Amino acid sequence: MKPRLVQQQSLQWKLNQSLIQSIHILQLPGMELLDYLGELSNENPLMDAINYDYEIEHYRASHVNTPDIGEINPVQYSMYEQLRNQLYTLSFPKELEPIIDFGIDSLNHDGYLEIELEQWADACDTTLKRARDALAMIQSLEPAGIGARSLSECIMLQLKAMNIEDTFILNLMDEHLEWIATNNSAAISKHYQVEEERALAIIERMKRCHPKPGQLLGSQHSDYIIPEASIFKENGSWEITFHKWAAPTIKINDEYGKLLTMDKDTTNYLKEKYKQIEVLQQAIAYRTSTLEQIIQMIIEKQSTFFENGPQHLKPLTLREIALELDIHVSTVSRAIKQKYVQTDHGVLPIKFFLQTGIRQTDGKEMAAVAIKQRIYELIQAEHKSRPLSDETICRKLKEDFGIEIARRTIMKYRGQLQIPSSLKRKRGGKC
Q: Which among 143-147, 171-175, 384-388, 423-427 has the top mean pLDDT?
A: 143-147
Q: How many domains does the chain have?
A: 3
Which of 350, 384, 413 is the C-terminal boundary of a domain? 350
In a domain, 269, yes or no: yes
One domain for residues 207 and 100:
yes
Which of 164, 191, 218 is the C-terminal boundary of a domain? 218
One domain for residues 256 and 326:
yes
Number of Cβ within 10 Å of residue 43's Cβ equals 9
One domain for residues 213 and 230:
no
Return all residues near 6 (Cβ < 8 A) that are at least 6 apart: none
One domain for residues 366 and 306:
no
Structure confidence at residue 223 (pLDDT): 42
Can you tell me the mean pLDDT for 204-222?
73
- Comparing 13-22, 118-127, 220-229, the range with the smallest average pLDDT is 220-229
In a domain, 74, yes or no: no
In a domain, 73, yes or no: no
CA distance 225 to 29: 11
Measure Cα distances from 204 to 1, 179, 198, 331 in Å: 46, 12, 10, 29
Is 72 in contact with 342 (CB distance < 8 Å)?
no
One domain for residues 98 and 206:
yes
Which of 317, 350, 383 is the C-terminal boundary of a domain? 350
One domain for residues 50 and 105:
no
Q: How many residues does the chain have?
A: 431
In a domain, 407, yes or no: yes
Number of Cβ within 10 Å of residue 95's Cβ equals 11
In a domain, 138, yes or no: yes
Where residue 390 sits, what CATH number does that domain have? 1.10.10.60
pLDDT tens column, 48-63: 877 776 677 766 656 5
Structure confidence at residue 18 (pLDDT): 77
One domain for residues 157 and 195:
yes
In a domain, 208, yes or no: yes
One domain for residues 266 and 329:
yes
One domain for residues 258 and 273:
yes
In a domain, 36, yes or no: yes
In a domain, 23, yes or no: yes
Task: Give me the domain span that covers residue 395.
Answer: 357-427
CA distance 413 to 427: 21
One domain for residues 245 and 311:
yes
Is 99 in contact with 131 (CB distance < 8 Å)?
yes
One domain for residues 275 and 326:
yes
Average pLDDT score, the chain: 80
One domain for residues 335 and 379:
no
CA distance 63 to 274: 38
pLDDT tens column, 94-147: 888 888 988 887 888 889 998 888 878 877 778 999 999 999 999 999 889 999
pLDDT tens column, 290-329: 999 999 999 999 998 998 887 788 888 888 899 999 998 8
Q: Which among 144-158, 205-219, 364-378, 399-413 has the top mean pLDDT?
A: 144-158
Is 376 in contact with 368 (CB distance < 8 Å)?
no
